[in-house]
Every structure is written in C-alpha cells, then in structure tokens.
Structure 1
Amino acid sequence: MMIERPSRHSGVLVSGRPVTYLLMQSRSDPEDWRRMIGWSAEAQAAGLGIYPQVSSRGIGALTSLQGYHFFLMRRAYHEVSTLPLSERAAALRDPQRRAAVLSQPDDPGVMALDPKLADFIALLRQNMANVYPMTEETLDYEPGPERKAGGLAQAAGISLEELIYDHYSAADGRKICASFMLNYAEGNLDATYEMLRQPFVAAALGDGGAHVRMVCDASWPTFQLAFWARNRKRGPILPLPHVVKKLTGGNAALYGLSDRGVIAPGLRADINVIDHDRLRLHLPEMLFDLPSGGGRIHQSSSGYLATMVNGVLPVVMT
C-alpha cells in the first residue's frame, strides 16, 4: 500500500483524502451551521474535499408504550408492564390505575433495576412540554407549534402528564410521541433545507444501531424521497433528481464506491422501482426480534414496487 505524502495548499495541510464531518443545528447555537457551511464552501472552492454530513430530519427520540416513555418508572405502570400491548393499554385506561400512575413519583425500586434508564427517562421528562403526540393519521416530521403537547394540554384543560398518558394508552397502545432535540431549534426544517440544498452536503448521518429503541433512521431514504421531493408543506421542497443523487451517486462517490451509485454499463444494478405518488411512511412500531427478544423500532413503508440487488430481483413488494 502506497501512502501519499501530505502537501500544503493555501496554508492548509492537505491529506489527499476527502473529509466528512457531522453537522446539525443545535438549540445552543442555532446559527452555527451557517458558519460551518460557509467554511466548507470556501474549502470546496479551494479544491479541498470537505463534506458536511447532514440529517434529513429532526433528531431526537420516539417514545411509546412499546419502548421508552415518561411513566416507565412508576410502580402502578410497572405492575402491568409485561401484559401484551393491547391489554396493557386497556389496563392503563382503568380509572383507578390511571389515577395511581399519574399521582405516583418514580419508584426507587423500579429505578434501581436500571439506573441509567432512569436517568434517561428523567432527561426526557425535562422536554415533555415540547414533544409532539403522533398517530398514523398525524404522522408529521415538521409539525407546527400548535401540535406541541404543552399547548394541547392547556387547550384541553388537563395536565401535561394526563394528555400524554391518555395518548399512549388510547386504542391498542401503538401511538407515539416524538421529540426533536437537534435540527429543530426554530420549530421547523428550514435550516435542514438550506443544508441539504448545497451540492457538497451529504444526506447521511443515520444511526447505526446504538439507539434502536428510540429512533428508526433506516427510514430516512424513504423520508427524503417522500418529504423533501413531494410532501413538505411549511417551506420549499427539493428537486427529485437532487434528492436521488444524494441518496445514490453522491454518497457512493464520497466513500469511493466506484462500482455503484449510477445506472451505467458495467456497474452494479442496485435499483429500486418506486411509485413516487404512493410513497409514504407508516407509524413506527416496536419489533422484538433481536437476540434475547430485544426490541427495535421498525417503520414500514408503501410505494416500493421492486428492488434489484446487482441485477437480481430477490424481492417483489406491493
């Protein structure tokens, strides 16, 4: 293996290799991303391969009765926590149990079973007023301020905990709450739009499996095609070819995967056939199919007609 000797370019050490880094909008400095984009653009103009990696939507956590949620450490909840989901939701709707869960503090005995989880639930609770209750019908990754739990509770004349508890326990217990801690500092995805529209920005940054009980980043490609190229209502969308390139040839080129990413003779024929008008995501749900019955959030979709892997059609979907 031959290693190139670094050189100097305009006073900057050049490795001869592309550099990519994580870029998100934070609440602590909502405009910091603009500086990073500007410096990256200057580097690109100087011939330096520096590529920010940007998430295509708000980054945070999904909570539900199937995974983590705000009442997980309450003894009255813990007593029914092993029931099948629909039975658990029904048990939680019982007026006596509802009153008990809502009136109890987190139980030290339950917290001692998993202290780190208890700390995480406490952290989630600090942002409770800013979560967005969602259902299959209201699944929206750019909700407005009127959809926040705090405002909904005030309008309904009930406490914040009551609103979220009733949301979790309704029907079969599959409803979720979403919180966006990054890329949503101003209550919209305008900053994400400005980042994604830059040709040198990589639409990437998906979680590789460390937080599968609270996020489902495997659905990002579908989200980008459906939301950014068609569905967005609170701001401009991106051209479909721009989104497709970021999902395919753009990222393949960044990582040196020269055998894929475009449709051309001699390259891998990794192709999705999509009915873009029907493409949509469904409400996330928990599957318990990991080793030892571990759970992970799964998000199904509609609109994929077929998938070819290196020219082979192993799966046909409807």
Structure 2
Amino acid sequence: MHDILVKNGIVIDGTGAPQFRGDVAIADGQIVEVGQVSGAARRVIDAEGCVVTPGFVDIHTHYDGQVCWDNVLAPSSINGVTSAAMGNCGVGFAPARADKHDWLIQLLEGVEDIPGTALTEGLTWDWESFPDYLNSLAARSYTMDLGTHMPHAALRAYVMGDRGGDHLALPSESEIAEMARLTVEALDAGALGFSTSRTHAHRSRDGLNIGTLSAGDPELLGIAAAMGARGKGVIQLISDAYLTADDGYAQAELGLIRRLAETSGRRLSFTVQQSDDSPDRWRSIYREIDAMVADGLEVNAQVAPRPIGAILSFASTTNPFVLTPTYRRIAGGSADIAARLAALREPEVRAAILKEHNDSRPTEGFAAILTWGFTRMFRMGDPVDYEPHESQSLAAEATRAGAGMAAFVYDVLLEENGQRLLYMPLINYAKGNLDDVHAMMTGSHVLYGLSDGGAHCGTICDGSFPTTTVALWSKGNKSGLSAPLESLVHGYTQRNAAHVGWYDRGVVKPGYLGDINVIALDELSLSPPEIVQDLPAGGTRLLQQPHGYRWTIKSGVPTFENGEWTGKTPGGLLRGEQRRG
C-alpha cells in the first residue's frame, strides 16, 4: 500500500529528460514507482492538467534567524521549495560568544535588512559553537529541509574578537589556524560548507563594512586548504567583481576565486549579476569560469531569473524620500505604521519633505538612483510585471499628467491607504529588458540562486525566484526568449541539489526522496507583495503570494494544498552531504 499516489500528471523528472505522462507513488517518504504504478494508495492526488516536478532546491537563503521562531519558513516554502541552504554570504549567528550577540544582530540587520528588534526577540541563542547551533536546529521541525554554511563574518569575530569586525585587521597565523580548525569542526558536525562576502554593499546597521571584505590569501586559502585536506564542503561567496568597471580589480577577484577552488579542490559558486556601471562584466566573468572549468575546477556562477529590485513604499523600509530629515524623524519616531502614514498625509509634512528632497540631490551611487531614479519606478500590478518598459514608469506618468515628478511619486505612494508598492529594478536591468538575464541563465556553468529567502524583509521580495524561473522563462520574456521547461526544472532541482551534495533529492525516480510539486503551469504567477506584520516584536516584512501550486509534498507528507499550509512539518536539519539509501 502506497502512502500517496499522484496520478495523471505530466512528469518533469528533474534530470532534464523529456517530460512524460505518468503517475508517481510515494511510500515511507521515498518515491517507489514512476510511470505505470501498481497497487493502491492511502491518498490519491489527481494531477490532471498539471506538471509534476521534484520539490525545488534553493541554495541561497538567509533563514539563519527565522529558523528560531518559524517552522513554515515562507516565502521559500510557499514557492515550492522543499530543501534550502542558508548561512550564505558569510553572515549568520554561529559561532557566537555571548558578548557578540548584539554585534551579530546589527550585522545581519544591515547586511540582510532583517529587523533587529525581531532578531533580538526571536533568537534563542541556545548555542555558542557551530556544532551547538546545528544541535539547536536539529531539535526543531520545518516545512522543508535546511542545511547551513559556516559564515566567515561570525567565524572571524569568534576567533579575533572585536578585530574580526574590522576588514583591515589581519589575523595572526594562529588565528588563521583556529579559523581553519573550527571550519573543519563545523563540516564534521554537518555544515554544508564555508561562505564569505567581499562586497562593499554588505555593511552593518551602523554603516561599517563587513569584516570579511578584504580578507587576504593567507586567511582564505588557509581555510580552503583545511577544507581540501578534510575533503568536505562547498565554498560560496559574493564579490564585487560583477559590479566594478575596473578591469584590474575584477581580474584580481577572479584570480582569488580560482585560487580558492584550486587550493580547496571543492565545489565553489559565486554571485554573478549585471550592474549599470559594468553591464557586460558578466560576459568576461563567464569566460573566466569557462577557463576554470576547462582546468578541472568545479566553479559555477549563481544567477537570478529576474532583476534584483527594491520595493518602495511609505509603509516599509525604503522610498525616494527616505533620506530627508522630516521623513527620517517621522519614520524613526514610532514603529506605528498607521501613525507614520497619517503624518505623511499632512500638507505641511508633504511640503517639507518635497522641499528637502529637492534641496539635497545625490549625484551618484545607489542613493541617487533610489531618490531620483523616477524612470525606474513602476507601479506593481497583479500579476507583477518584472520586465516593465520605461514608458510605464512613474516619470512617464508624471510627464503625461504634466506634474512635477517628485510630487507625483509622493502622492502615488499615498494611494491604497499608504500601502502602494513601487517596483524599482536595480540589478540585471541595465538595458531595460531581461534579454541578458536569459543569456546568464542559459550559460554553461550556472546555478539558480540569489533568492535571499528570509532576508531583505522590507526592501526586496525575491524568495519567489523559483516561481519566476518556471512561470516566466517556460513561456518567454517580452523579446520571445525562453528555455525548455525540463531545463528550468533541472536547474532548480537536481543541479542545485548535487552542487551542495544532496544526492538523495531533486529527481522524480524510485529511490529518491518523496519531495514533489504539483503545479498548474498555466496559472503559475505572482501577486504583488503585501506588507505583513508577523515578525517577532511586531516587525514587518514583505510577503508575496504565488498562484498555481496545487500541492507541495515533503518526504511524502503534503505541506501545502492550493497555497495553504497543512500544518505539517516533516522537514528538518540536513547535516552535510546526503546519499540515497
């Protein structure tokens, strides 16, 4: 007797092989038959008109804090994800001495836009070492499985104390040896690998650069060599190589990435996106990756399926007026969003903010784009259009209305009782379309990642990346570029799973985990995010509802039916590599 029988679906098995019509039987948490299935089942799910895929595997999330207070782990879980990796970009909460708790909270609040008040109330801190942290997670259950990296920033502070937060401070030989030892200890306890950050964009709440920013060869290669000697773990990192217009800097960073892969002998992935300052840098990076792979190194770019876009609102974290003194006074004076919105509706407040905004105009960098980039600000419709044309921008709307742009945008933000959301594509949109994103996604050595599920609570809402990948690219963008459904599913299942060493999932075949999505492909879409107040200490976040997921099944247990959580939490901690059987 099978536990579950999924009947009459179009099976996309995760390997990239052609789709076929068939049934899938699950028993004792594993897939036992595919195709023509024999025997009865305790529950039958009719997948007529739907595609049946493996559960998605998201290798780039930041649930490191959320795991302490939430076992649902949205937004990833509601977007078909059944396995996820966290502890990316060198940030996390272990190892952690007691006197560094507040410091780590401030770091994550700045780097990943997770409210510090929520972290302060929600983190349990029933650990110090990284193995302690894993033991704490192992005592909990979730809607999906989770693995985590050893984060470099936390490790550095644990070993070096206050000096670890200063990226200009050099560790001693003994400190490097201790970081290497603790990394191996973490791998032996079940860490997926080691992660680090080398981007100026990662700063603490106080604006300080992340301590790992300029870590040198002795430190990084010392850790990599220890990983190689132990024969465990993967390396994940973010670097400014894709952002810079400086050829020499980019080449130096790629040289370091090569040395990390050579020294460790381990699989390595790093962020590759398109920036306005260097819109074709990703192409030269891809050529360097090709050369590394040709030399026998296992190196991949982590790429995104759409722009990395800021969500602008008066009711969330950021908007074009966020730098004005009057707005900062109102927003900082109370956590009461209703009171903030009431104040912003006052004519004298509006006039003051618009004057301050006009009198102080940044000329470069992110601040200039955020505060005056009206040609890149778009209303979020339903479903969301992630490839808007400049003619749809608020700048174009204001011009057609004969209105001043800043004043027009201010009034738009007050629509819908102040809950109006604007979309501002910042990365992967240098040419005003997604053609280059398609080229990045269909490259030879890529992994689908960068969703940052669990992070950027009030600014970015990209935990829905798996849904965009399948919904958008199986049908095509506005230029008509598309990708085979089988390839897209493979990218978010078997390929991602194999990269982090999870060989027991990501495929719909007998012997693999019973992690399944049943998707009405024609209905697969995303509504605009909503501002919800469900974090500890009343913290807010953006949460986006997908449509089209009929069932998500984790280890043979339905966790979501038609978008609703079933109350089941069959997932938990994954320690290191996972083998079938």
> Do structure 1's residue 214 and structure 2's residue 465 form an aligned pair?
no
Q: Quick one: distance in 2 between partners of 1:180 and 1:224? A: 17
In structure 1, the partner of 2:290 is 41
Q: Quick one: distance in 2 between partners of 1:59 and 1:146? A: 20
Alpha-carbon deviation of 1:101? Answer: 5.0
TM-score, normalised to structure 2's length?
0.47
Alpha-carbon deviation of 1:124? Answer: 5.3
Q: Identify which of 31, 40, 43 aligns with 2:280.
A: 31
Preserved CA contact (<8 Å) 2:474 2:483 = yes
Alpha-carbon deviation of 1:59? Answer: 1.4
> Do structure 1's residue 78 and structure 2's residue 327 form an aligned pair?
no
SS in 2 for 1:30: coil
Alpha-carbon deviation of 1:304? Answer: 0.7
Alpha-carbon deviation of 1:282? Answer: 0.3
SS in 2 for 1:13: helix
Q: Identify which of 476, 484, 507 aligns with 1:239.
A: 484
- List gaps (5 residues or longer) in structure 2: 1-187, 189-228, 232-258, 358-364, 564-581
> Do structure 1's residue 3 and structure 2's residue 267 form an aligned pair?
no
Larger displacement relative to structure 2 (120-129 or 27-36): 120-129
Q: Quick one: distance in 2 between partners of 1:295 and 1:171? A: 18
In structure 2, the partner of 1:171 is 416
Q: Identify which of 266, 269, 272 aligns with 2:514.
A: 269
Alpha-carbon deviation of 1:196? Answer: 0.4
Q: Quick one: distance in 2 between partners of 1:69 and 1:103? A: 13
In structure 2, the partner of 1:114 is none
Aligned-pair RMSD on alpha carbons? 3.1
Cα pair distance change 1:155/1:125, threshold 3 Å: same
Q: Render the CA deviation track for 1:141-184: whole Å, top value 9, x for unaligned.
A: 11112123323322221111122112211233332122222111
Residue correspondences, number? 297
Preserved CA contact (<8 Å) 1:190 1:235 = no
TM-score, normalised to structure 1's length?
0.82
Q: Quick one: distance in 2 between partners of 1:276 and 1:101? A: 49
Cα pair distance change 1:151/1:279, threshold 3 Å: same
Map 1:180-259 to 2 at 5 A: 180-230=425-475, 232-259=477-504
Q: Identify which of 93, 96, 100 aligns with 2:351.
A: 100
Alpha-carbon deviation of 1:48? Answer: 2.3
In structure 2, the partner of 1:16 is 265
Greater RCO (Cα-Cα under 8 Å, separation 6 or more): 2
In structure 1, the partner of 2:121 is none
Cα pair distance change 1:122/1:184, threshold 3 Å: closer
SS in 1 for 2:523: coil
SS in 2 for 1:225: helix
Preserved CA contact (<8 Å) 2:526 2:545 = yes
Cα pair distance change 1:127/1:237, threshold 3 Å: farther
In structure 2, the partner of 1:54 is 303
Cα pair distance change 1:53/1:125, threshold 3 Å: closer
Cα pair distance change 1:13/1:306, threshold 3 Å: closer
- List gaps (5 residues or longer) in structure 1: 5-10, 107-119
Preserved CA contact (<8 Å) 2:275 2:430 = yes
In structure 2, the partner of 1:113 is none
The amino acid across from 2:296 in the alignment is G
Q: Quick one: distance in 1 between partners of 2:521 and 2:394? A: 32
The amino acid across from 1:286 in the alignment is I
Q: Quick one: distance in 1 between partners of 2:354 and 2:436? A: 40
**Percent of matched pairs sharing the same residue:** 32
